[in-house]
Amino acid sequence: MNKVAYQDEIIILRVKDWQTADKYAVCFSREHGKVSFIAYGARYGKSNGGRLIQPFAQLSARLIGGRRFDTLQQCELSVLPQTMDILALAYSAVIAEAVENLTEEYSPQEEIFILLQQALVLLGRHNKRLVVVSALCKLLSFCGFDPALENCTTCHEKIEGDAYFSTVQGGVVCDNCSTGAELPFAVGTRELMLKLQRLDFANPEKFVVRGADLMQLEQTLYKFLVYQTDKPLVSLQFLAQISV
220-95-170 Cα angle (round to 5): 35
Residue-wise pLDDT for 33-78, tens only, equals 999 999 998 887 666 577 899 999 999 999 999 888 999 999 999 9
**Does pLDDT of 178 surpass 80?**
yes
Local confidence band at 89 (pLDDT 50, 70, 90 cut-offs)? very high
Backbone angles phi, psi at 183, to 5 degrees: -90, 140
Least reliable range by pLDDT among 28-32, 51-55, 138-142, 157-161: 51-55
CATH architecture of the region 5-77: Beta Barrel (2.40)
3-state secondary structure of 176: coil
Q: Does the pLDDT at position 145 exceed 90?
A: yes
Instruction: Kindly state the average pLDDT of the residues 10-25.
Output: 93
pLDDT band with cut points at 50, 70 and 90 for residue 221: very high
> Would you state the pLDDT for residue 48?
57
At 244, the pLDDT band (50, 70, 90 cuts) reads: low
Domain boundaries, the chain: 5-77, 86-242
pLDDT of residue 2: 63
Q: How confident is the model at residue 1 (pLDDT cuts 50, 70, 90)?
A: low
Task: Please list, in sequence order, all residues whose beta carbon lies within 8 angstroms of the beta carbon of residue 81, skipping any fewer than 6 positions away.
Answer: 54, 56, 57, 58
Q: pLDDT band for position 83 (50/70/90)? A: confident
Residues 201-216, mean pLDDT to the nearest whole number: 92
Q: How far apart are CA 13 and CA 25, in angstroms?
A: 7
Q: Tell me the average pLDDT across 214-230.
A: 96
Task: Evaluate if pTM is beyond 0.85.
Answer: yes
The pLDDT value recorded for residue 135 is 97
Residue by residue, what is the 3-state secondary structure of 60-82? EEEEECCCCCEEEEEEEECCCCC
Averaged over 187-204, what is the pLDDT? 94
Mean pLDDT of the chain: 92
Range 86-242: architecture per CATH: Up-down Bundle (1.20)
Per-residue confidence (pLDDT) for residue 188, from 0 to 100: 96
> 45, exposed or middle or buried, with CB in 10 Å at 0-12, 13-18, 19+?
exposed
Average pLDDT, stretch 216-225?
96
pLDDT at 90: 94
